[in-house]
């Protein structure tokens, strides 16, 4: 396990007082490591879990050449002349059992979608392309199809003996269905990440406490909880911790004893006259950064015991932005996900001019919509104050204005990180 100083020494131009957002991701990628323990889960419980081993197909899917359409199967060599064909129907192949029998030239078999292709046949004409030609025959017009049309090959989806899913795959609905299509009732996944989180600050009220002058209700614990729940983490809620060394020490020790990662909010700003930073420093290997970004400049990062610490700023919007930009990719890496990068950014045309200073990454709350011409457009939610959580609710994504970027003009294409989920 590398110390923070060792990681810092590996990074070019590391400046904790003005760290570019990209350098934060790079630092965290070197700080964290995937969990090692694995467990078996049933496919019904596998959604959102991360595969701990490659899955090799025990069977081919589909297991046989079969029909992609309801229609008539025949030997496509007869299409070579390019003329219309009249074929006598000599039987019917249903899905689920093989049709036994032989089919000669000038003959076909009525076939259902998914039914095994009878021996020697390689082409299916869809029902709707054909005309009846007497009682037991059909006519296929010239040029209606080509040899091999509407036939699915055995193993076209998955081939026996080949990897079907790779270690590090985060199992979505499609992957769960795919495992089931292989007849596999269980999967080996990494154990869930355990994340402890608490809010700090003497002015922070827990729900249920009466309002008090100068105090605000703790919203961060609920946004953090939601963000962690989306990742499928085991949640350890340690509440609001008052600004007293003994309480802070107890909270950090308890978190470190139970969790892979600790997420705090508040108490890491520069002028902060509290004990949070001192306690982090005392108990762990922790760096205090000023990130070249807005919102969310201050952040503490490091280790307490073997837990990774993410000390987020206190402002509610800054908490969400730093989580999405930095904590989320780091946690995905700890979960064993192969795809650690954030989902691809959208490019959308700005509906307004945005002031932007080069030399820091700015995240603005944005509303992406479809313009009348079908292209994507984005506007900001207006008030970008870092405490304004209501604008985070209105937004459907974060506009990401890159480090080197300057002012944005109306019509310029800019990047948007879309929020996921309902």
Considering beta carbons, is residue 32 or 280 the nearer one to ligand AMP?
A: 280
**Crossing angle between the packed helical segments 276-283 and 245-258, to the nearest 10 degrees:** 50
User: Which residues of the shown chain bind Mg ion in the complex (CB under 5 A)?
Assistant: 201, 266-267, 314
302 sits near ligand AMP (criterion: CB under 6 A): no
Q: Site map for ligand AMP, 117-156, x if CB under 6 A?
A: ----------------------------------------
In the region spanning residues 242 to 261, those forming contacts with ligand AMP, defined by CB under 6 A, are none
Residue 199 touches which member of ligand AMP, Mg ion, none, C-beta under 5-8 Å by kind: ligand AMP
> Does 315 participate in binding ligand AMP (rule CB under 6 A)?
yes
**CB atoms inside a 10 Å sphere around CB 410:** 10
The answer to whether residue 199 forms part of the interface with ligand AMP (CB under 6 A) is yes
* Cβ distance to ligand AMP smaller for residue 315 or 377: 315
d(CA 17, CA 265): 19
Question: Which residues between 387 and 406 bind ligand AMP (CB under 6 A)?
Answer: 387
Torsion of CA 356, 357, 360, 363, to 10 degrees: -10
In whole angstroms, give the CA distance from residue 289 to residue 299.
5
As a 3-state breakdown, the chain gives helix, strand, coil percent values, each rounded to 5, of 25, 30, 45
Site membership for ligand AMP, residue 311 (CB under 6 A): no
Rounded-to-integer distance, Cα 267 and Cα 264, Å: 9
| 218 touches ligand AMP by CB under 6 A | yes
User: Within 10 A of 29 (CB to CB), how many other CB atoms are there?
Assistant: 14
Between 302 and 316, whose beta carbon lies closer to ligand AMP?
Answer: 316
Select from 71-79, 199-207, 280-288, 350-358 the region that touches ligand AMP (CB under 6 A): 199-207
- Residue 265 interacts with ligand AMP (CB under 6 A)? yes
CB atoms within 10 A of CB 398: 23
Site for ligand AMP contains 366 (CB under 6 A): no
Length of the chain: 422
Q: From CA 217, how far away is CA 204, in angstroms rounded?
A: 6
Extract the tokens encoding 10.
Answer: 């590996």
Using CB under 6 A as the binding rule, whether residue 316 contacts ligand AMP is answered as yes
The CB density around residue 96, as the number of other CB atoms within 10 Å, is: 9
CB of 353 to ligand AMP, least distance (A): 29
Q: Is 266 in the site for ligand AMP (CB under 6 A)?
A: yes
- Rounded to a whole number of angstroms, the minimum distance from the CB of residue 221 to ligand AMP is 6
Instruction: Please name the helix (run of DSSP H) or strand (run of DSSP E) that holds residue 236, with its range, or none.
Output: strand 234-241
Choosing from 8, 145, 216, 418, the residue that interacts with ligand AMP (CB under 6 A) is 216
- We find the least distance from the C-beta atom of residue 217 to Mg ion, in angstroms, to be 14
From CA 172, how far away is CA 335, in angstroms rounded? 15
CA gyration radius for the chain? 30
φ, ψ for residue 278 (rounded to 5)? -60, -40
What's the min distance (Å) between Cβ of 21 and Mg ion?
Answer: 23
Task: Kindly list the residues in this chain that would bind ligand AMP in the complex (CB under 6 A).
Answer: 199, 201, 203-204, 216, 218-220, 265-267, 269, 272, 313-316, 387
């Amino acid at each position: 396990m590398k110390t923070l100083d060792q990681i810092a020494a590996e990074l070019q131009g590391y400046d904790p007082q003005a760290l570019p957002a990209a350098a934060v991701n790079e630092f965290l990628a070197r700080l964290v490591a995937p969990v090692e323990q694995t467990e078996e889960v049933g496919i019904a419980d596998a959604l959102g879990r991360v595969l701990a081993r490659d899955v090799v197909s025990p069977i081919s899917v589909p297991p046989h050449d079969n029909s992609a359409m309801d229609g008539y199967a025949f030997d496509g060599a007869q299409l070579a002349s390019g003329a219309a064909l009249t074929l006598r129907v000599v039987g019917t192949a249903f899905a689920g059992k093989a049709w036994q029998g032989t089919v000669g030239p000038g003959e076909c078999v009525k076939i259902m979608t998914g039914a095994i292709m009878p021996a020697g046949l390689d082409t299916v004409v869809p029902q709707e392309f054909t005309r009846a030609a007497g009682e037991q025959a059909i006519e296929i017009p010239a040029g209606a199809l080509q040899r091999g049309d509407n036939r699915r090959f055995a193993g076209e989806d998955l081939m026996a003996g080949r990897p079907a899913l790779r270690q590090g795959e985060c199992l979505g609905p499609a992957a769960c269905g795919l495992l089931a299509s292989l007849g596999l009732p269980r999967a080996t996944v990494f154990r869930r990440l355990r994340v402890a989180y608490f809010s700090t600050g003497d002015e922070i009220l827990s729900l249920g406490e009466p309002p008090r002058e100068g105090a605000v209700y703790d919203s961060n614990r609920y946004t953090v909880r939601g963000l962690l729940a989306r990742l499928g983490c085991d949640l350890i809620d340690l509440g609001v911790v008052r600004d007293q060394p003994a309480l802070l020490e107890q909270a950090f020790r308890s978190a470190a004893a139970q969790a892979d990662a600790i997420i705090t909010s508040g108490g890491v700003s520069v002028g902060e006259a509290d004990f949070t930073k001192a306690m982090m420093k005392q108990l762990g290997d922790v760096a205090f950064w000023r990130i070249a970004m807005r919102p969310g400049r201050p952040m503490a990062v490091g280790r307490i015991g073997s837990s990774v610490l993410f000390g987020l700023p206190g402002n509610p919007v800054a908490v969400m932005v730093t989580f999405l930009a930095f904590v989320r990719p780091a946690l995905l890496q700890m979960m064993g996900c192969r795809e650690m990068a954030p989902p691809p950014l959208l490019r959308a045309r700005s509906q307004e001019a945005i002031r932007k200073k080069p030399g820091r990454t700015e995240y603005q709350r944005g509303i992406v919509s479809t313009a009348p011409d079908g292209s994507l457009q984005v506007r900001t939610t207006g008030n970008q104050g870092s405490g304004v959580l209501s604008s985070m609710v209105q937004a459907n994504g974060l506009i990401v204005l890159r480090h080197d970027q300057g002012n944005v003009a109306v019509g310029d294409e800019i990047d948007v990180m879309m929020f996921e989920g309902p």
